[in-house]
Structure 1
Amino acid sequence: MAEEKPNCKVILANNIAKKLLEEVHDGLKKVDRKPLLVGFLSSQDPAARVYAEWTGKTANENGFAFELREIDRELLEDALIDANNDAKVDGIIVYYPIFGNRQDQYLQQIVSIDKDVEGLSHQYIFNMYQNIRFLDDANTKKSILPCTPLAVIKILEYLQIYNSILPYGNRLHGRTITVINRSEVVGRPLAALLANDGACVHSVDISDVQTFTRGEGLRKRRHEVEEKPGWTIKDCLPISDVVISGVPGDTYKVPLEHMRAGAVCINFSSERNFTPEVKEKASIYVPAIGKVTIVVLLRNLLRMVQNKIDAAEDAAQKADKSQ
């Protein structure tokens, strides 16, 4: 008798990235030049170099210009200020970690808000946590979101975990999601974004569990965080429709014995946080998201270029009216 195959559908990031790239290509048609993204590499981290090369390759293949600048970390601050002031530079990405401490956070704040394709500037982070989706009162300029959390959201939209029947901003209402990792770069922003879209999110870190929600019936405008004393991942997995894991290091594995059958599983770590047995239990499994992250980066860059074009047109119209 033939062995039954698992019913899990494995979705590769490449397929999701293709759909987003079509959007990017359509937007590029409205721009009369190649937008220039400048990457700054100031660390010896091999993963940072791989990411930099991958960014350049994807950018060049898709109608963008990319320039990698390898700068001594002590000179990076001045180099970023120069790039901010260079009208030819449309977007800036810095490959972290550099110093691996608060100095990295300081460098994130140097990059001009108009060129910060990673969405790490204070204004963008503030808007994200406060559930403010636009930069202007007229709601024409969308705020930029950090690339990896936004890539996860785009994957969840592609998988139709977002319910398009519900109003925009509430489309995860009724979903329970576990996010394993509460880093300031990905895990905590992702939990906040998902909760702001209506999900009940259990954020699991090495020492505790927190729950992010917008309250009963989504009555709150933005998410709130509740400590869950005594809770562990064993309490979260059996009640979660979606499990998203991004623990760095090759030793961590999600304890599948506690996961509910039919859960959707997404891995955003550079290591595999799920063992191959995940396919026996999950309904959908996304083993990596890197290709989606880079397309989201290009999408953010394009949005900045479009904002610049719109601002120039507005200024020209105002000048005409004043004459």
Structure 2
Amino acid sequence: MESRKLSGAVVRDAVFACLARGVETSGRKPGLAVVLVGDDPASCVYVAGKGRACEKLGFHHVTHHLPADTSEGEILRLLAALNDAADIHGILVQIPLPGHIDAARVQAAVAPRKDVDGFHPENLGRLLAGRPGFVPCTPLGIIEMLRHHGVELAGREVAIVGRSVIVGRPLAMLLSLKAELGNATVTLCHSATRDLAAVTRRADLVVAAMGVPGALDRDHVAEGAVVVDVGINRVEDPAAKKGYRLVGDVAPDALDGWASAYTPVPGGVGLMTIAMLMRNTWEAMVQQEQAR
């Protein structure tokens, strides 16, 4: 079977081009503030990538890089100031946070109108109710990728493996909404799912979001299904320039030549997460200007 690779780069570039035109023609500059606590290597890489995206698009951005021993109170005071800052339209708190900090309390301290990550309880509640609000960036990026590449969702069976609030649960809500890019029949799988392979083999679309390299193989995917691989895992590879390579949650034997279409790792969903963060930041600016 000839498999179609669903490029994230193509979709990201289209989103970026639209946003760059908006900045150029309007003269407006969306502002994004990122709060990074500690020196987690992966978090530092992700934050740097967000900064580069802002610079590419002409967005104003600032990173507040705080020591790992910063108190929760200090972070909450910083967020209160950013909530009131007129030149900041979006706020992102980079996860994970050090163990002494209550991540849920910190995320809830971001004003919903500036919660461009989509994790504030109010925005998650709006998603559940099918009301307008900011949607978490990775699920939103998956929907945008599928739309761009013409993958039909209405009436399809979808199996999502992984129930995190970052991907699995919000994506399940998005796909099941009575909407143009929803109307799918969704099964949300997790560590207690019995006979996972039997569930995923029934699906027209399989979404892997566990963070476990190669966890799903050909036994988990029906021939001709569409596979969305959210996993971005580092595995040691002495032959690689950096000493490691990035792999997804789906084994190669379930992708090229087996699936009808699939998202690559790297070059797939990960690129869309930042693209949707940029789009959410633009929309936050527009909404805040209209509310004045």
For the residue of structure 1 that corresponds to 2:257, the secondary structure is: helix
Q: TM-score, normalised by structure 1?
A: 0.78
Matching residue of 1:199: 184
AA aligned to 2:216 is V
2:148 is the alignment partner of 1:158:
yes
AA aligned to 2:271 is K
CA shift at 1:161, angstroms? 2.0
Matching residue of 1:176: 157
Q: 1:279 aligns with which of 256, 277, 280?
A: 256
2:5 is the alignment partner of 1:10:
yes
Matching residue of 2:116: 117
In structure 2, what is the Cα distance between the partners aligned to 1:61 and 1:189? 29
CA shift at 1:110, angstroms? 0.4
Whose radius of gyration is greater, 1 or 2?
A: 1
Q: TM-score, normalised by structure 2?
A: 0.85
Matching residue of 1:39: 34
**Residue by residue, what CA displacement relative to the aligned partner does 1:288-310 show, whole Å, maximum 9, x if unpaired?**
31111111101001101111222
In structure 1, what is the Cα distance between the partners aligned to 2:101 and 2:33? 23
* Equivalences for residues 1-323 of structure 1 within 5 A: 7-29=2-24, 31-72=26-67, 73-74=70-71, 75-99=74-98, 103-132=102-131, 134=132, 143-162=133-152, 172-196=153-177, 197-208=182-193, 231-250=194-213, 252-271=214-233, 272-277=248-253, 278-287=255-264, 288-312=268-292
* Structure 1 gap segments, 5+ residues each: 1-5, 135-142, 163-171, 209-230, 313-323
Question: Which structure's relative contact order is higher, taking Cα pairs within 8 Å and 6+ residues apart?
Answer: 2
In structure 2, what is the Cα distance between the partners aligned to 1:193 and 1:18? 23
CA RMSD of aligned residues (A): 1.8
Q: Is the 8 A contact 1:43 1:96 kept in 2?
A: no
CA shift at 1:52, angstroms? 0.1
Aligned residues: 266
CA shift at 1:311, angstroms? 2.0
AA aligned to 1:157 is R
* Structure 2 gap segments, 5+ residues each: 234-247
Q: Is the 8 A contact 1:204 1:232 kept in 2?
A: no
CA shift at 1:100, angstroms? 5.0
